[in-house]
Structure 1
Amino acid sequence: MGITADICDVHKENVVLADSIFHSFGQKTSFSGPIHTVKVLEDNVLVKKALESIPEGSVLVVDGGGSTRCALMGDNLAAIAAERNLAGVIIYGCIRDSGEINEMPVGICALGTNPFKSIKKGEGESDVPLRFANAEWKPGAWVYADEDGILLADEKLQI
């Protein structure tokens, strides 16, 4: 069993299951950690800034508004996540360079791929509660992701 199945067996009443709308990219198919958030629309400046600054072991959750018109992360930003030992990245939007990212020691969940790069205006918000995939993504809460799904909990759960 994966980590999410184990958590559901023990903590079903303490977790929320995000809608199964994400695809997995990178070599890490399972990850968990405290949430840090960014809310942007087709602009990845704050995504890069967060990848460079959030603590090791964290999960960056990006609310890209569900846009599939461009990518919010490519291989260069994925490399930052890998180098900084971030637990993972969840993007309510798209990535690009998926072939390269799939060879990297990262865990990324995104709606899909798009070869177009994002704009670079630096607009958006950081460290704010997000709502997408029928779940609330709160800074400091915990997320658990694997092949079976993505779970959210208000705190770190023991299994």
Structure 2
Amino acid sequence: MVSATTDLCDGNEGKLAAGEVRVLAPVFLKDVGGARSFWGKVVTVQVFEDNVKVRELLEKEDDGKQKVLVVDGGGSLRCALLGGNLAALAEKNGWSGIIVNGCVRDVGEINGCNVGVRALAAHPRKSNKRGHGQVNVPVSFAGVRICPGEWCYADADGIIVSATPLH
């Protein structure tokens, strides 16, 4: 982690006031994965109870760039969009973190992966496999609009998103 989110906020008060740096509402209850803090350039996916597009993105290697996958699952609490297999795939391909506006499962397996994960909750049911969703579109949840190509920083104190790198 480059700097704590608290320090990034303190050092960028003008950007916070201007909306260039945004703080997600503290609604992410599950802090899982082996990496407790993470940062990187944002890749987005918008899905609903279907994780095919999530898998497709995590199958792509990170090419040495810090990346965070932001999954807008519509806040559904009826099934998981990420499990142990996908977390292992994310680790293998160099993703630094995943934020899920929805649920995860296989929490024990995810905790064994060196990737940071934030989600609303855990749920044992797997998602559908229809392949519906949109990749690299702006998403909005937790009171914040997140666009592809922005920068995300997450640690125990919260999650912030910035239009420009803060490190």
Alignment of 1:60 with 2:38, yes or no, is no
Residue among 121, 128, 132 paired with 1:123: 132
Alignment of 1:151 with 2:130, yes or no, is no
Kept after mapping to 2: 8 A contact 1:36/1:54: no
User: What residue number does 1:31 align with?
Assistant: 38
User: What residue number does 1:70 align with?
Assistant: 79
Runs of 4+ residues deviating >6 angstroms:
none
User: What residue number does 1:114 align with?
Assistant: 123
Alignment of 1:50 with 2:57, yes or no, is yes
Give RMSD over aligned pairs. 1.1
| Structure 1 counterpart SS, 2:59 | helix
User: What residue number does 1:11 align with?
Assistant: 12
- Name the TM-score, length of structure 2 as normaliser: 0.91
Kept after mapping to 2: 8 A contact 1:4/1:148: yes
User: What residue number does 1:83 align with?
Assistant: 92
- Per the TM alignment, residue 52 of structure 1 is displaced from its structure 2 partner at its CA by 1.3
- Per the TM alignment, residue 54 of structure 1 is displaced from its structure 2 partner at its CA by 6.0
Q: How many residues align?
A: 157
The 1-side partners of 2:14 and 2:144 are apart by 15
- Structure 2: state its 5+ residue gaps: 16-20
The 2-side partners of 1:38 and 1:96 are apart by 19
Of stretches 48-57 and 124-133 in structure 1, the one that deviates more from structure 2 is 48-57
- Structure 1: state its 5+ residue gaps: none
Residues 134-149 of structure 1 mapped to structure 2, 5 A cutoff: 134-149=143-158
